[in-house]
Homo-oligomer: A and B are copies of this chain.
Amino acid sequence: MFLAKVYVTYKESILDPKGEAIRKSIQQMDYDSVQSVRLGKYFEIIIEAADEEVASREIEEIADKLLANVVMETYRYELEPITSNEANTIQVEKAQLSEEDGDEG
C-alpha cells in the first residue's frame, strides 16, 4: 500500500491570475514581504500496488488522464509506503461517506 502525494501547478509559462489575486489580498493585509504566490492542487491518494514501480506507473497515468490538464499544468509526486493500519484510518472516513450516499460500488 502506498500514499501518493501529487502536486499540480501551472506550467511556468502560464500566468496564474488566482495566485496574483491572492498576492494582492495578502499585500492589502500589510504583508509587503510577499513577492509572489502560485496556487495549485494537492492530492493525497492511497493506492494498492505490488511494488513502487507499479504504483508510480499508475499514479502517472491517473495524473496524466485526470488530475492535471497537461496542456497548462505540470505535476510532481512523492510515494510513501504505508501500513494497512494507516490506510484504514483514512478508509474509515470513506466508509462513513459511502453509507450516507448509498454507494452502489
Residues of A within 8 A of B (CB): 1, 7-9, 12, 15-17, 19-20, 22-27, 29, 31, 33-49, 58, 61-62, 65-67, 87, 89-91, 93-94, 96-97, 105
Contacts and interface: CB of A to CB of B under 8 A. Distances in A.
B25 A47 contact: no
9 contacts: A1-B35, A9-B42, A16-B93, A29-B62, A31-B58, A33-B58, A35-B46, A35-B47, A35-B87
B42 A41 contact: yes
B25 A66 contact: yes
A80 to B, nearest CB: 14
B44 A43 contact: no
